[in-house]
Structure 1
Amino acid sequence: MQVADCSVVTQIEGVNYCIVVLHQTSWMDELNNLPPEQVIALLSATILIWYLASGLRTTLYVLGSSTKEE
């Protein structure tokens, strides 16, 4: 097996070990690296989804309460 992403290949007792360095980034770091236009588009899409979900929830609640037998 051959791994192309090895940072360092170490051989211990005839066995090759691949050492890969992982760089962890948080979603806030990724958000800070976005251009302002993409941040605005992301926030707008999020607001739209919340607005639609709230409207759908209200509609389902009204429909559900009007069909209940009392």
Structure 2
Amino acid sequence: MCPNTTQIAAPNPNAGHEIVLWPDGTWCWNDEFDPAEWSFMSDDYEVIDMGDMPRVERLTREDAQLCADVLEELR
């Protein structure tokens, strides 16, 4: 390897898989999210890309079971 060459990390296979997450732990896939169907929920939600490792790691610390459920559906 040339000394000026840096290795590029392998792409995260979960990148692009986004969930919509509400503070109470309710979630759905972003591509299935229709505000009209979810009007009973608050508009206090967060869209999380499962390829965003710092955010996924934080989600795992905050709610490991929710993260496990999401990752199980990705398999």
Which TM-score bucket, shorter chain as reference? under 0.3
Structure number with bigger Rg:
1
Normalising by the residue count of structure 2, what TM-score does the alignment of the two structures yield?
Answer: 0.21
